[in-house]
Chain A
Amino acid sequence: MSKLKTTPAWTRDEIAARVAVDIPDGAVVNLGIGLPTKVANHLPADREVILHSENGVIGMGPAPAKGEEDYDLINAGKQAVTLLAGGSYFHHADSFAMMRGGHLDVCVLGAFQVAANGDLANWSTGAPDAIPAVGGAMDLAIGAKKTYVMMDLLTKTGDCKLVPECTYPITGVSCVSRIYTDVAVFDLTPEGTQVIDIVPGLDFDELQKLTTVTLTDARAS
Chain B
Amino acid sequence: MINKISPSVEQALAEIHDGATVMIGGFGGAGQPAELIDGLIDHGAKNLVIVNNNAGNAEVGLAALLKAGRVRKIICSFPRQADSYVFDELYRSGKIELELVPQGNLAERIRAAGAGIGAFFTPTGYGTELARGKEVREINGRHYVLEHPIFADFALIKAETGDRWGNLLYRKTARNFGPVMAAAAKCTIASVHNIVELGEIDPETVVTPGLFVKHIVKVRRTATGPAGFKQDKGAAS
Contact = CB atoms under 8 A, between A and B. Distances in A.
A136 B102 CA distance: 6
A136 B173 CA distance: 16
Nearest to B180: A93
A56 interface: yes
A77 B229 contact: yes
A99 B104 contact: yes
Contact of A71 (B29, B92, B102): B29
Contact of A132 (B98, B143, B207, B224): B98
B175 A91 contact: yes
A70 B172 contact: yes
Contacts of B88: 131
A69 interface: yes
Nearest to B131: A138
A142 B129 contact: no
A136 B88 CA distance: 20
Q: Chain B contact residues (Cβ within 8 angstroms of A): what range? A: 35 or more
A74 interface: yes
B28 A90 contact: no
Interface in B99-114: 100-108, 110-111
Interface string A77-105: 11110010000011111011101100000
Interface string A97-138: 101100000000000000000000000000001111111111
Contact of A133 (B80, B172, B223): B80
A100 B127 CA distance: 16
A171 interface: yes
B128 A132 contact: no
Nearest to A120: B128
Contact of A131 (B27, B91, B176): B91
Contacts of B123: 100, 142
Interface string B183-225: 0000000000000000000000001000000000000000111
A91 B179 contact: yes
Interface string B138-176: 000001000000000000000000000000001111111
A121 to B, nearest CB: 10
A92 B224 contact: no
Given A54-B103, A91-B178, A80 B226 contact: yes
Contacts of B180: 91-93
Contacts of B119: none
A36 interface: no
Interface of B: 27-31, 53, 77-81, 84, 87-88, 91-92, 98, 100-108, 110-111, 122-130, 143, 170-180, 207, 223-229
Interface of A: 53-57, 69-74, 77-80, 83, 89-93, 95-97, 99-100, 129-139, 142-143, 169-173
30 contacts: A54-B104, A55-B173, A57-B172, A70-B223, A71-B29, A71-B224, A73-B173, A77-B229, A78-B28, A80-B226, A89-B170, A89-B173, A90-B175, A92-B180, A93-B108, A96-B107, A96-B108, A100-B123, A131-B87, A131-B88, A131-B91, A132-B100, A134-B101, A135-B103, A136-B103, A138-B125, A138-B128, A142-B124, A169-B129, A170-B127
